Structure 1
Amino acid sequence: MIVRKYESKDLQAALEYSLPAEQAIFTSIPSEVLETFQSDIFNQPFVIYCDQQLVGWFALYTDGMGNIYTNNKQAILLKSFSIDARFQKRGFGLDSLKLLPNIVKQHYKDKNEIILTVHETNYAAISLYKKAGFIHEDENYDWEYGIERIFRMGL
């Protein structure tokens, strides 16, 4: 498995990315992340490949001033994490999340914490993030679509 920053050569695979509707309500699909990336230099997309196939996707939001979930300016926000529906239930999600601390340390040496949010009804994601070592300390964010649980992982 390879996890790296998005490159223009990934565009076609990103456009073919598949998520069922019941999962897409919880995350942004790659084309949406790319649209945001074009206008926000702090939103860096990453790709997850296995055997030359795009199996997953996420973005790291690096602007501490724009992170509404913490006052920690050395925190980085994990956003839009997903595994393509055609590759789910093969361990790619957990394996890539376990690589995440080293990826952050490699690309963002000043960061000391990873933060993510997950909708309180997204039980599969909550379980996955816990298995990967993220901790929820009863911090939540109430927004227009419901309660988001805030998870943290120290680096």
Structure 2
Amino acid sequence: MEQRTAAEAVALEFYNDRHRAYFERYLLPEEQQKFTAMPLEALKACEEESGRHPVVIMYNGEPAGFFVLHEGEGIAKFTENKEDILLRAYSINSSYQGLGIATLSLRQLGGFVKQNFPDKTEIILAVNHANVAAQHVYRKSGFVDRGRRIMGRIGEQYAFHLELD
């Protein structure tokens, strides 16, 4: 059997119904749940609002995480630039945390966005001031804080940016 590197073990793919049963059993520590939407909650929002694209983070062929790429009018709170896309509802299932999957998936994100949304020039996200662990992972993956602040449902958030080449 061929050995895969950690980076090769992580892949991004658009959500489809075959993933649903997995997300019905998805777990996050309680302290992380206050900062992000659970996948089923985010999927419901995707069904209700166009421009939201659910993505599954795969690890060795199994779903390990989830996020939504959001474009269009619904991201006006975060940016006025129509060439931006918003990363939201990002999480890694608790049983896969600590394996480097978050960093590897975020490093693949730029290429995934360029391939599937070629008109986009930047990825933005909002991260709560109190979510220091997530801030660290986002910074390590190339996101930068340009000083913009946004009020979220549980307080002020940093707006982080990742320019696409």
1:37 deviates by 1.2
Give matches, 1:81-100, under 5 Å. Answer: 81-100=90-109
Residue number in structure 2 paired with 1:123? 132
Q: Percent identity?
A: 33
Q: Deviations over 1:73-125 (max 9, x none)?
A: 10000001110000000000000000000000011011000000000000000
1:44 deviates by 0.7
1:41 paired to 2:53: no
1:148 paired to 2:157: yes
Unaligned runs of 5+ in 2: 1-9
1:23 paired to 2:29: no
Residue number in structure 1 paired with 2:6? none
Unaligned runs of 5+ in 1: none
Structure 2 length normalisation: TM-score? 0.90
CA RMSD of aligned residues (A): 0.9
AA in 2 matched with 1:47: V
Q: 2:111 aligns with which of 92, 95, 102?
A: 102
Across the two proteins, how many residue pairs are aligned to each other? Answer: 154
Aligned partners of 1:60 and 1:87: how far apart in 2? Answer: 21
Q: Deviations over 1:42-96 (max 9, x none)?
A: 1110001112321110000011x22111111100000011100000000000000
Shift of the 82–6 alpha-carbon distance from structure 1 to 2, 3 Å rule, reads same
Residue number in structure 2 paired with 1:66? 74
Aligned partners of 1:8 and 1:142: how far apart in 2? Answer: 33
Residue number in structure 2 paired with 1:52? 61
